[in-house]
């Protein structure tokens, strides 16, 4: 019998990538052959995201792409949007199966004869039932591995659908995280990025209840001891959960790199209160100051939302000026979009779409300035670069431990290797050139 082919498309965050990779390994174990999404496959699995309106819209075009590759293929939708709006996805022409938060990890159980359905079949739990943990990690897709350590969120931010899509906060056991980290290191992967919905909450739900045996600090302390991993990176951590002890540990760590991504969302305390964030901007200033005190060369990334209901011109400028003065390295800018079943969707003071777009453009411009200013502080310093696996227009790219993006002419020998370099100049495309500090054999 000819081996069936499966292809995957992942929308959204690093957590989704780690889960897609784990689900894909399940297919391989069942005898399927994995192919690229652009190729002809028998099954196309789309892992969806619900964070922005754009991710919703892209879903339809991805389904069309799958149908173009093979009109007879079986198309399955999984992930956050599939949990929130299963019927909506099932109505998209060409979709055969929609699986919610708990069902996605058992997808092969729902595949019968792979014949096309007249209507999309939905298997979606009540989100209260998403109370168990499924560990996952991504390997084979890129130079870094994404290691999931936590899922779900107990926070009630007024703009966010993630608790509705992923359920309560729950964690992997310490034993399993360390086992997965060891498995990744055995594959020759040099860098692991820790991922989850709210990783600073690690420990909660480790035993299927709210009992805490371990904390995030315990987790990073133990991971730092895993042999064979050259680099560990914390993906994103709430400012109120990023403790001084964790920052100090990273500063003295063997493997953790000086790179933090800390969501802010707004530089206005009025807006932070409306968002029901768990800190004020003064705490954020304190976190940045602490990181820079013990690691002056650290890279700090910031998430920020523009156009939240009630964000007047004055309040936006408060955010802009706050970020402008802060010693940070880059921004991830999100334009607020109304999401069903969130408090913010019913708030007064909606900001016009064109104003949201203008504010987003202003902050993206500020981000470019911040990144360049950070890169300039790194020139003439010695760093370690991990090189990526793609040939991009004759160049190979890589990242220093503190997340400076570098480039050099393509050399396949460099893929997935670490090298000491001296950063010399910023190229016209914004990437940094360097000199090798050791002989590289070609």
Sequence ranges of the domains in the chain? 5-127, 136-377, 381-436
Amino acid 135: pLDDT: 77
% residues pLDDT > 70 (the chain): 92
Whole-number Å distance between alpha carbons of 389 and 18? 18
Amino acid 108: pLDDT: 86
pLDDT band at residue 439, thresholds of 50, 70 and 90?
Answer: low
Amino acid 142: pLDDT: 61
The tally of CA atoms less than 13 A away on the side-chain side of residue 35 is 17
% residues pLDDT > 90 (the chain): 75
CB-CB neighbours of 322 under 10 Å: 17
pTM to 2 decimals? 0.89
- Give pLDDT tens digits for 89-128: 999 999 999 998 888 988 988 886 666 666 678 876 665 6
pLDDT band at residue 137, thresholds of 50, 70 and 90?
Answer: confident
CB-CB neighbours of 133 under 10 Å: 20
Lowest-confidence range among 126-135, 159-168, 316-325?
Answer: 126-135
Amino acid 286: pLDDT: 98
Amino acid 123: pLDDT: 79
1: pLDDT strictly greater than 70: no
CA dihedral sign, ordered 288, 290, 291, 292: positive
Amino acid 111: pLDDT: 81
Amino acid 121: pLDDT: 82
Angstrom distances, CA of residue 258 to CA of 108, 253, 274, 399: 40, 9, 32, 12
Amino acid 50: pLDDT: 79
Amino acid 442: pLDDT: 38
The three-state secondary structure class of 242 is coil
315: pLDDT strictly greater than 70: yes
Amino acid 117: pLDDT: 66
Give the chain's mean pLDDT: 91
Amino acid 132: pLDDT: 66
- CATH code of the domain occupying 136-377: 3.80.30.20
Higher pLDDT, 130 or 200: 200
Q: Which residue in this structure is represented by tokens 């069902």?
A: 103
- Give pLDDT tens digits for 254-270: 999 999 999 999 999 99
Domain 5-127 has CATH 3.40.50.12160: yes
Lowest-confidence range among 56-60, 228-232, 248-252?
Answer: 56-60
Angstrom distances, CA of residue 60 to CA of 53, 57, 67: 12, 6, 11
Q: Of 386, 397, 400, give the one whose Cα is nearest residue 427.
A: 397
Range 284-303 average pLDDT: 98
Lowest-confidence range among 8-12, 129-133, 182-186, 394-398?
Answer: 129-133
């Amino acid at each position: 019998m000819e081996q069936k082919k499966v292809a995957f498309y992942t929308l959204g965050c690093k957590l989704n990538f780690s889960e897609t990779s784990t689900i894909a390994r399940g297919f391989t174990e069942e005898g399927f052959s994995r192919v690229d999404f652009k190729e002809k496959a028998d099954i196309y699995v789309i892992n969806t995201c619900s964070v922005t309106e754009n991710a919703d819209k892209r879903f339809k075009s991805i389904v069309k792409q799958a149908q173009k590759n093979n009109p007879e293929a079986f198309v399955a939708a999984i992930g956050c949007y599939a949990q929130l709006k299963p019927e909506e996805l099932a109505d998209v022409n060409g979709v055969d199966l929609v699986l919610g938060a708990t069902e996605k990890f058992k997808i092969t159980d729902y595949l019968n004869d792979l014949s096309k359905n007249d209507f999309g079949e939905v298997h979606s739990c009540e989100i209260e039932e998403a109370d168990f943990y499924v560990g996952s990690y991504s390997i084979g897709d890129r130079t870094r591995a994404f290691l999931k350590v936590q899922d779900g969120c107990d926070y009630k931010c007024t703009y966010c659908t993630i608790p509705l899509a992923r359920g309560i906060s729950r964690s992997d056991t310490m034993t399993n995280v360390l086992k997965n980290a060891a498995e990744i290191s055995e594959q020759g992967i040099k860098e692991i990025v820790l991922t989850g919905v709210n990783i600073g909450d690690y420990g909660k739900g480790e035993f299927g209840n709210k009992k805490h045996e371990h904390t995030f600090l315990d987790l990073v302390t133990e991971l730092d001891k895993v042999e064979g991993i050259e680099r560990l990176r914390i993906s994103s951590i709430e400012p109120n959960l990023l403790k001084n002890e964790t920052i100090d540990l990273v500063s003295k760590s063997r493997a953790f790199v000086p790179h933090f991504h800390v969501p802010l969302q707004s530089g206005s305390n009025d807006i932070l209160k409306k968002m029901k964030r768990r800190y004020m901007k003064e705490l954020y200033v304190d976190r940045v100051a602490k990181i820079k005190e013990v690691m002056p060369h650290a890279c700090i990334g910031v998430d920020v939302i523009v156009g939240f209901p009630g964000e007047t011109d004055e309040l936006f400028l408060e955010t802009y000026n706050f970020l402008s003065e802060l010693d940070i390295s880059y921004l991830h800018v999100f334009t607020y979009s109304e999401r069903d079943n969130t408090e913010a969707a019913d708030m007064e003071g909606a900001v016009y779409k064109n104003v949201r777009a203008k504010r987003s453009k202003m902050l993206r411009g500020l981000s470019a300035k911040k990144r360049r200013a950070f890169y300039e502080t790194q020139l003439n310093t010695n760093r370690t670069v991990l090189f990526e696996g793609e040939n991009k227009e004759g160049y190979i790219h890589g990242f220093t431990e503190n997340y400076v993006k570098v480039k050099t002419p393509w050399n396949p020998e460099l893929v997935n290797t670490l090298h000491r370099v001296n950063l010399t100049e910023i190229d016209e495309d914004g990437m940094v050139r360097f000199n090798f500090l050791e002989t590289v054999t070609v």
